[in-house]
Amino acid sequence: MKQLKLATLIAVAFASAPALAHITYTDRNFGGFSGLALQSASITNQAVSGNFGWADATDDDFGDSHKGRSFRFNLQNEANVSILATANATATVSSIDGLLPGFSVYSGLVHLPPAGADYDGSDVSQAYLATLPGPTKEGVWRSLADWKVGNEDGTTFADLSTLLFQGYAVDGSAANYGTAPGIVGDGVADGSVTGAFRLAAGDYTIFLGGADYDAQDVNNPDFSSSYGASLGLTVSAVPEPESYALMLAGLGVVGFGRAYRQRSNQR
């Protein structure tokens, strides 16, 4: 009976895996922002599979996009964008606390309905990955660089969606996210991280995942657990050049006044 039960569970898991791995923005669309005024939005009640997806995607063998959550937003004008990712123990009924979040921001979107959803295992995605140098790839996701992914309708590499890397933010330090070169974390692995970006007008994708590199050990009892997560986004206008000039002029006046007072006191 135990063997039959195990075989049944494995069959169910493999049958459901492709659907789980599709990349969509369902219930994770922040919408559009003018970029000309202060605007904020948040998306809660989300969950990330495993606590290692973002960190694993920093390697040369890339990462499984199923281990992250995709969000989207649109800027109508250039703007300053602040993004806050936090662990959330009550995000779903089945999720647990303890996420160490890392996220990356990309210009561009994956395929949207009515087109088929992109995913790692599509024929065109696998064909593209096979042309890349280095080790065999675990998936399509790259936390620190551009990446491509396609759907079942894709027949050539021109059909792939392209996500262009804009920046990242990650919770903690190399003690949790690993030794890939060039990563700078926020220094405190407390389940929260904020990143600030200046972005041009256009469509953007945020990919959120776990930043605990060692959690990908299959002996980890929470290897397949869902971790609660929330994401907040604040958009503010980029100051006009005239504003910068006035600010610099004001700083110059303050500096001149301070120097004048110091000379007067020495007389």
pLDDT in tens, 39-79: 999 999 999 999 999 999 999 999 999 999 999 999 999 99
Domain-located, residue 141: yes
Q: How many CB atoms lie within 10 A of CB 236?
A: 17
Q: Which residues pair with 68 in a beta bridge?
A: 209
pLDDT at 145 over 70: yes
Residue 97's domain spans which residues? Answer: 2-34+36-237
Tell whether 255 is covered by a domain.
no
Cis peptide before 114 (omega within 30 of 0): yes
For residue 240, what pLDDT is reported? 83
Give pLDDT tens digits for 19-33: 346 999 999 999 999
Residue 258 lies in a domain: no
- Domain for residue 225, yes or no? yes
Query: What confidence category does residue 132 fall into, taking pLDDT thresholds of 50, 70 and 90?
Result: very high
Kindly report the CATH number assigned to the domain that includes residue 119.
Answer: 2.60.120.380
Residue 264 lies in a domain: no
The residues that bridge with 206 in the sheet, in sequence order, are: 71, 105
Element at 208 (helix H, strand E): strand 202-210
Residue 30 lies in a domain: yes
In the chain, the number of structural domains is 1
Report if residue 57 sits inside a domain.
yes
Sign of CA dihedral 170, 173, 177, 179: positive
